Structure 1
């Protein structure tokens, strides 16, 4: 998994090896002096922002490309394509709904909170998640709800939630693997246990490295490495991108819900009784 030459690995589409190197490089960067780490972080932040700009340019042109691809496929396959896309959306969305329901159970059991109170606490953050499809955009209301409804101190919420938004995307590995399994099924490819393990490890690594932006921005960057690690073709991904906005809503809602559940569990209970302020809000 560790590349002898990371540049060659990148040129040969050895995405998993590149991800392993990037994770090791990131951890190693935390061990150098602050005055050396700061410009290094600034450089990669600038590169990341530049790539986001390029991605936005690509997304502006993407509808024309997706339309051309869908038109060609539609002329050959007819209305069957619509059924295929609907099947894909249903599979990914159902996997996310199941994960969200499990998150509620985990929050109630290990967070020592009633289901009704937790549901009311996360509902406004979920609304923001649906409208923006971005965990980052949901962060302010998440901190507010954790403080006012989940009994988490402001200092704890201000530390745990930004960290959770940055690295704890519980829905991403599940949804991304669901996409890859659908691609494999669509192409009639049988996947062995070793391939599934490689895909799962890559999905976890990619979810940690991705950003909390709408899924359309990071769809290829998130799904592509997993498909390559599992030996799956990439040709169908532009077609799936056309309907990604629907599954991405459930991805973001699941991530926001899990982040608030994790914050409550880490806190371990109410920091102080929720009194008048909670009652006023009610």
Structure 2
């Protein structure tokens, strides 16, 4: 359903596409920064507002979206189909973020940008916990304390566990317990929807915040910052291409399915995903392509595809790996192998909670940064680097969404063939 046209003094602003507004904010900020130099710092408070709004939403969004995602999976569906598709989604997500990190280590986006590094950020880089400590700390001693302190991995673990618990309660044979579970699910579902609304509100302000943050960056760095944005975009799209062409292609070939036939049958959904930047919005077309073009029965597609739109975010995982290294490079931090493994783990888990709506990955990137001890503070180098990413997020979002949707479809085809439910006549 199309949003109604806004009326009033600022109708011209709200009736212009968000993608265009953010891009204009990025370009104007760069131009103003170059023209006025360091004196443009007077607009920094406008950027600080955006930073604070993003920090306000990230933890509630993680908790509610992950609980709802986990609670949406019915225990009775966690049979062979559920296990197969879940393993596929986890494996491909891990491969995706690894590809993103490898590409980022090769292209090294953000290196040489030399944004100012504050002492607090540098100190955190030098005192990262050991891998085993990170692993053990995933289980929170006090989930409420973890939530208030912004501890990401423990909240992910708690939210997934709590969500699965709700799913079990919802499906209880005792009416009282099932009703209580349904009520609890509705509360979290409603809270998650409220979070998505607030995210949309924040994104309405984003062009102004991006303008201010980018103006400050270019006021200090000059035109040299353009090259870094181009390089991070190239790096991400290299990762998207490898995931779609090589990883998914490998899975199809190993299962003796035609690479070309799949892409011919799935191209409508892929193009729609690229243009709309929404896995959820593309879902009706994805399901039709699977059934009519590629011979996947509706009973399988109706389970695996909505699940994939909720928990399978390979493109988002690549994006988070690339952008995390861009930001750390830009502020002069070096990530060791333990920190990069933490990024992989967090990105895989974070992808479960990335809502299938435009711009969700940019919010989840904050989670990945928090997991390696990097927080966004108003006026910091990290905030400036994050603003640069946000300025081109729509372009990156197009690539990550087509990757997400393609991964869902490949997994659905593989499960259908494994269950001997795939109509192979469509593949001749």
Normalised TM-score (structure 1): 0.91
1:246 corresponds, among 378, 395, 398, to 395
Q: Which residue of 1 aligns with 2:321?
A: 177
- 1:230 to partner: Cα distance: 1.0
- Report what 2:246 is aligned to: 102
1:226 to 346, 368, 383: 368
CA pair 147-190 structure 1, distance change in 2 beyond 3 A? same
> Are residues 1:71 and 2:208 paired?
no
What's the counterpart of residue 167 of structure 2? Answer: 30
Change (3 A) 1:218 1:109: closer
Are 1:21 and 2:164 matched, yes or no?
A: no
* Superposition deviation, residue 233 in structure 1: 4.6
Gaps of 5+ in 2: 1-137, 170-176, 377-382
Q: How much does 1:27 deviate?
A: 1.7
Is 1:11 the counterpart of 2:153? The answer is no
> Per-residue CA shift, 1:130-169, capped at 9, x if unaligned?
1110111111111111112212112222222112222122
CA separation in 2, counterparts of 1:136 and 1:145? 15
After TM superposition, where is structure 1 displaced by more than 6 Å over at least 4 residues in a row?
none
Count how many residue pairs are aligned between Structure 1 and Structure 2.
275
The within-5 A match list for 1:176-195 is: 176-195=320-339
1:141 corresponds to 2:285: yes
Note if contact 1:152-1:267 (Cα within 8 Å) is conserved in structure 2: yes
Q: Alignment partner for residue 422 of structure 2, among 263, 266, 271?
A: 271
1:78 counterpart SS class: helix
TM-align CA RMSD: 1.9
Contact 1:108/1:115 (<8 A) preserved = yes
1:217 offset after TM fit, Å? 4.0
CA distance in 2, matches of 1:151, 1:217: 31
1:212 offset after TM fit, Å? Answer: 0.6
3-state SS, counterpart of residue 168 of structure 2: coil
Larger radius of gyration: 2
* Ranges in structure 1 where 5+ consecutive residues have no aligned partner: none
1:42 deviates by 0.5
Give distance in 2, aligned partners of 1:245 and 1:233.
23
Query: Would you say 1:164 and 2:308 are equivalent positions?
Result: yes
Deviations 1:55-108 (A, max 9, x none): 111111110111011111111111012112111111112111111112441343
In 2: Cα distance, 1:62 partner to 1:80 partner: 23
Whether the 8 Å contact between 2:362 and 2:390 is mirrored in structure 1 is yes
Is 1:261 aligned to residue 261 of structure 2? no
Q: What is the CA distance between 1:238 and its match in structure 2? A: 2.3
- The DSSP-based 3-state class of the residue aligned with 1:30 is helix
**What is the alpha-carbon distance in structure 1 between the residues aligned to residue 249 and residue 301 of structure 2?**
21
Q: Cα offset for 1:267?
A: 0.9
1:203 aligns with 2:347: yes
Paired with 1:232 and 1:195, the residues of 2 have a C-alpha distance of: 11
